[in-house]
Each structure stands twice: as structure tokens, then as C-alpha cells.
Structure 1
């Protein structure tokens, strides 16, 4: 600001103040100390839209209350290379569980594949490309098994949140914003599209409107990671039988498979 402009502005302000004082002196009812009426603040919308929150709750209840469930997933995920070059890879997965203590995951991606069997108190992982497997003793419930292998082995299974008896428990601890987007399509199925944010990720869910409110599509954006990689899963072939054959949860290993230590077979998943 130039000196001349500042001086002119100061003079104008003084003129306005003098005029205001003169008006107050002419009108005894006016008082410079009279309090202005309180300004009513506009109501703020909730940080988590109630409709989005209700849909999330119904989905978690449908998954958590199931005695058994299975689904197929087609997955796309990003890897960020040096110089923040982002590359997309693909994967497919078949996932099944029966509560309280059986889980099977068959996962194959452009970067390799793993098969996992969990039955009662034993977890077995088979690395198909290298024909190696590892086993370890674990707690005899899905929730505690998943917690233990994450804490002690730093192993997180793809879409493992869907296996918990309360799938919402972890998500709710992180959500700071949620919104209902609208009705959108996933492979010909009308879905309620909702979006949530935490400090580190953005999460979008497309929830089936026609039957059980199962997720038909999941998109996770790791926005605080270099390159903001995304994880996209399209889920189909949902089934909710009362029971699944025990044989499905038993390890099926080739004769020549070599047993190794568990730490050598673990693989971090997006």
C-alpha cells in the first residue's frame, strides 16, 4: 500500500467516525455501547450424514450376523514406483468363512498369488509360484486370529474387515466425514453409493439395494501416501449358506510343496 493511499484511507475513516459521533449526539436514543442483537449461526450439517451412517450400519450387521458367507472379487490396485510413477495391477480373489473359526482365501494377482486356510487353531499359507507353505498356531476365532497375525506377523488379508463379527468397529474409529452420494450402478445392480473419509484415506462403498445390503464395489484412496494409490474391488457371487463343507477350509497342498518359516511367506497386501 502506498503512503498517499494509506493517508487518504485514514482521513476517510476519521470522517466516517466524526459523522457517526454527530449522529449519535443528535439522537439521544442511540448509544455506542448498545449491544447488537445476537446473530443466529446457520445450523451446520452433521459431519457424518445420518443416511450414510445408517446404510453402513445395516451392511455391517448383515455381514457380521451371517453364520457363513462367500464372495468373489475382481481387484485393481496401484503401486507407486520411484519418481512417483504409478502402475496399476490386477487380482482376483475367492473368499469364504464360517464362524467362528474357519476362513479360506484364494488370491491371485499380477504380482503373485497366495492361498490361505484357517481352521480352528491353525493358519496355513501357500505361496503357489514358489511352491512353499507355512503354518502356525493361532487363536480359535476369526476376529482374534486376524488381530494376532496383523500385530505379530504384520500380515493383513485382502478385504479382511469384511470377515470381522463387527465389520464397522474398525471403520467407525477412523471416520471423520461421511456422505450419501446417490443411487449408482455396479454391473447392472442399483446400489447406494456412500463415501467416508479418515485422516489418511477416502473410502467409497456401493451397497446393494435389492437384497442384502452387501458391498458390490469398494474404492480406497490412500491420499497421504506418495502418488495417492487406489485399491478397487468389485464384489460378486455373494452367498450366505447356513454351512460350508469343512473340506473347503482344509489345506490343499501339492505333494512337492516345501514347508518354510512363516515369516518368509508373508506378503503385504494393498
Structure 2
């Protein structure tokens, strides 16, 4: 059975874009469907523009994802990710998996660092010869170093263009609430997956929840993310983005398996 490569989950979500609308959203005439699609895209674009223009933010993301076993059974794994972004060139992501393994990544405009606290190892990729932006660092991290970074598109300033290029179908589902926050629930569809988004109403159209269904994968596995504690003016001094190796930590080469959980006994996504 193929393993699901989660390193590009959010990249797939918004660059390949993707979600079937509920049946009731598809009922009605062509004019109604067009109006629903236009309304959904307006919500999605507003969210994308808002995030891409934010000069800084922090957010906590509780995620879960299915991994289809060789038997066909779906097993859910998950993690909590704390993200701090300070444009144009600072990013920190701390990750705690459900089995307790802690790790993450940092970028300070020059050095890109990934660490695993359980294994007490870390890897660095110095960019002193070519300092770059968060966008460039993420592209290098995923494409060149072959590392996983769920929700990468969330911090990419090109999000609006990626969204517009990837969506093939869209539908407005309903007004609803996520954790007490009034939201617009929309459905988007692309070539390889379906995406549902719940976007906060009001003057801060932030994502509150997303669910991805990988329609071309065996078993149609899902990935979901619940967003909380959004802060558009977080305290983010330079020191927050500098990694200090713990005592006894070993520096190793970048490896896609470096930050994976250990000993689950189940096949897990990358």
C-alpha cells in the first residue's frame, strides 16, 4: 500500500485544490450553482489575501490524518503544531505528536534548522550565501531537502495565486460555527483531492477548520486541521527563531525520516 506523503499536504490542498460540495449545495439550477461557486470563491480569496498580507501571526493547529494500512484499515495519527511567522524571512514551527515526540523547524533568514527532541538530533542548512524569504525557504525545504511540512501554504505569500490556479469547482455550503466562531463553510474541488474550509466571518477571515479528502488515494484518506489562538501581533524577537542545541544533541544530515514518530507499530505517512 502506498504511503501518504504528508510533507506536501497543504501544498496539495491549495495548489491542486479540491472538495465535493454537499448534495443540497448542488441542487437547483445553473444560475444557483454559479452563484454558490462565486460566493465560495469570494470567501476563499478573501481568506487567502488576508493571510498573504499579514506581516506576522501565530496560531495553534490541532491536526489528524488517516494512514491506510495494507489491510485497508484506516488508522488516524495526529499532532499539534504551533506556528509563528514574521515576514519576510522568519518562521518557527514547533510540533508535538500524539505519542509525545517533540520537534520542529526554524528559519531566521539564513539558517534552516530541523530538530527532533526525543532522538536529540538536529540538521541545519545554512543559507548564508543566499539569504532568502520564508517562501524560498519552504520551497527549498520541501522540494530540495524532501522534508514534510504540513500546512506549508498557510505561510506562503503566493497563497492567493495558488488558490485561484488550483480550484476547479467551488460551492458555498452554509453559515456555521467552529468553536463558537461564526464561519462560512465552503467546498472546493481540484484534480487530486477535495477540500472543505470553514472561514471566520468578519474583518479577520482566518481559517478555523479544514478537511481534505484524497480522492485518488486508496481508501480516500482524510486530513483535518483545527485552528485556534490566532494572534496577528505575536511577540516574535529574533531569538525566537534561533536554535540552541540541547546538551548532547547530535548534528546529522537532513533526512525525511528524521522527525518521524518511533515505535507505533503502524504504517505512518511521511
**How many equivalent pairs are there?**
229
Contact 2:213 2:221 in 1 (8 A): yes
* Structure 1 CA distance for aligned equivalents of residues 181 and 139 of structure 2: 33
Match of 1:161 in 2: 153
Q: Secondary structure at the match of 2:71?
A: helix
* Structure 2 CA distance for aligned equivalents of residues 187 and 176 of structure 1: 29
Match of 2:111 in 1: 122
How far did residue 167 of structure 1 move? 1.4
User: TM-score, structure 2 length as denominator?
Assistant: 0.79
How far did residue 242 of structure 1 move? 7.4
The one of the two structures with greater contact order (alpha-carbon pairs below 8 A, sep at least 6) is: 2
Match of 1:218 in 2: 210
How far did residue 269 of structure 1 move? 6.5
Match of 1:203 in 2: 195
* Structure 1 CA distance for aligned equivalents of residues 118 and 208 of structure 2: 30
Match of 1:68 in 2: 56
Q: Secondary structure at the match of 1:195?
A: strand
Q: Unaligned 5+ residue runs, structure 2?
A: 1-28, 261-267
User: TM-score, structure 1 length as denominator?
Assistant: 0.79
Contact 1:63 1:162 in 2 (8 A): yes
Aligned ranges 1:224-239 → 2 under 5 Å: 224-239=216-231
Q: Secondary structure at the match of 2:118?
A: coil
Q: Secondary structure at the match of 2:44?
A: helix
* Structure 2 CA distance for aligned equivalents of residues 95 and 169 of structure 1: 22
Aligned ranges 1:90-101 → 2 under 5 Å: 90-101=78-89
How far did residue 61 of structure 1 move? 1.1
Q: CA RMSD in A?
A: 2.2
* Structure 2 CA distance for aligned equivalents of residues 172 and 134 of structure 1: 35
* Structure 1 CA distance for aligned equivalents of residues 121 and 219 of structure 2: 33
